[in-house]
Amino acid sequence: MNVVEVGGFLLVVMLLLLAGGVWIAMTLAIVGLIGMVMFTNLPAAVWGKNLFSAMWESSASWELAALPLFIWMGEILFRTRLSEQMFEGLAPWLNRVPGRLMHTTILGCGIFGSVSGSSAATCATIAKVALPELARRGYDERLALGSLATAGTLGILIPPSITMVVYAVAADASIIRIFLAGFIPGLILMLLFSGYIAIWSIRNPDRVPPAEPPSSLAEKLRRSGSLIPCGLLIVFIVWVLIAGWATATECAAYGVLGALVIAAASRSLNWQNFRDSLMSATRISCMIMFILAGAAFLTKTMAFTGIPRELAEWVHSLGLSPFALIGVLSILYLVLGTALDGISMIVLTSAVVLPMIQKAGFDLVWFGIFIVLLVEIAEVTPPVGFNLFVLQNMTGKDSNVIAKAAIPFFACLVICIGLITVFPEIVTWLPDLTMGKEK
């Protein structure tokens, strides 16, 4: 079988297992094992060794320690009613904006993404805080799920980002320049998401809760007082990160400590909600890390079969023009995104793709943001859309239902890719302004 037939066969097996109700993590691991047994020449003793090493390597990461901590912070905010106070404080300011509090999913993911550097942590934390409040206030659940699935990916576009670091190492590019390059595309993407929410709300006024009665500036400021504790917590976390006093993982620990202090000071923290928040954070973190382990084993299988590399070499053999090359690479990464996580996509294809990009005359910093946006799309592309899995396990909704809800926001990602392709200065302007042009 050629690589196309092998990839198609494994994809069909994956879809059948998912349709049969097999756990997502188990499905990924089973497909990886089938691929390793049927399409590699490795001895049987190596199969189990690769399985266990993949599971260990995917979990034994200092950076990954930030994931359960940020999720726990969100659980504390949710269970001590601090999240309700945040929404109360935002409500009067968003009252006149079409979509009103629905924009909090975008704002929350953008702000939290700048702290966590993880798509999964951003999606899980903001979903835990926002979904119950939006549902309680009567906002459209489908729109909320779609916006969270896609806005959660801002965690890997707005620096710091683990995916950006992996790309910078693979491309031998400046990590700081790539970090700086992500800010403006991240802001544009937030505006596109919020713009769609506003347009949807104008076209569907009957599905948006009625506006609250107008309030005076003094009343708005009084109600905004409830934002101060959580606002200071977020500012503190971002500040210690930018100042270089703490890593993203240490920031997550500060976030948990700060959330506990705020909850205790507001007298909404007791032993029961402390225990509940810890147990819920443990369950969600284990779910995400189990999926990561299954995906890591599938990635190893893909590397042994050589599918990503052969696809990249096939693209190289076409001898395309620069923009045709970008178009074909977009399709290639979208296809790979149905079966691989973003970091694996970069690692497995960089050796072949990056020389092609340099030869075509594209800036490596620009291509870093381009590929991060494609990775964001992969996060919401079935069957292995990681943010879809996170929301499915948190809400009980089928991942295909969430994927359909995310389609309009998926289109916003595509528009953003088109904008930075036509106007590459969107990406390169800030790094060049701050650090000067690379020679």
Interval 61-76: pLDDT, tens: 666 677 788 778 777 8
Q: What is the pLDDT of residues 259-310, one digit of tens each?
A: 888 888 878 788 888 898 888 888 877 877 787 788 778 778 877 877 777 7
Instruction: Judge whether residue 148 has pLDDT over 80.
Output: yes
Helices (H), 137-214: 141-151, 162-171, 175-181, 183-203
Give the pLDDT confidence score for residue 234 in this predicted structure.
73
Mean pLDDT of all residues belonging to the chain: 80
Instruction: Judge whether residue 439 has pLDDT over 60.
Output: no
- Is 107 or 345 the better-scoring residue by pLDDT? 107
Q: Is the CB of residue 15 less than 8 Å from the CB of residue 383?
A: yes
Give the pLDDT confidence score for residue 160 in this predicted structure.
63
Supply the DSSP symbol for 347: H
Angle subtended at Cα 84 by Cα 79 and Cα 87, rounded to the nearest 5 degrees: 145
* Position 151, amino acid: A
Mean pLDDT over residues 45-57, rounded?
75
Instruction: Judge whether residue 409 has pLDDT over 70.
Output: yes
Tell me the chain's radius of gyration from C-alpha atoms.
22
Give the pLDDT confidence score for residue 230 in this predicted structure.
73
Give the Å distances, CA to CA, from 356 to 12, 124, 368, 430, 437.
Answer: 31, 36, 14, 25, 22
Instruction: Judge whether residue 401 has pLDDT over 70.
Output: yes
Residues 6+ apart with CB under 8 A from 200: 99, 143, 408
Instruction: Judge whether residue 83 has pLDDT over 80.
Output: no
Burial class of residue 356, CB neighbours in 10 A (0-12, 13-18, 19+): middle
For residue 416, name the pLDDT band (cuts at 50, 70, 90).
very high
Instruction: Judge whether residue 353 has pLDDT over 60.
Output: yes
Give the pLDDT confidence score for residue 1 in this predicted structure.
65
Give the pLDDT confidence score for residue 197 in this predicted structure.
94
Instruction: Judge whether residue 196 has pLDDT over 90.
Output: yes
Give the pLDDT confidence score for residue 194 in this predicted structure.
93
How many other β-carbons are positioned within 10 Å of the β-carbon of residue 156? 28
Mean pLDDT over residues 108-134, rounded?
75
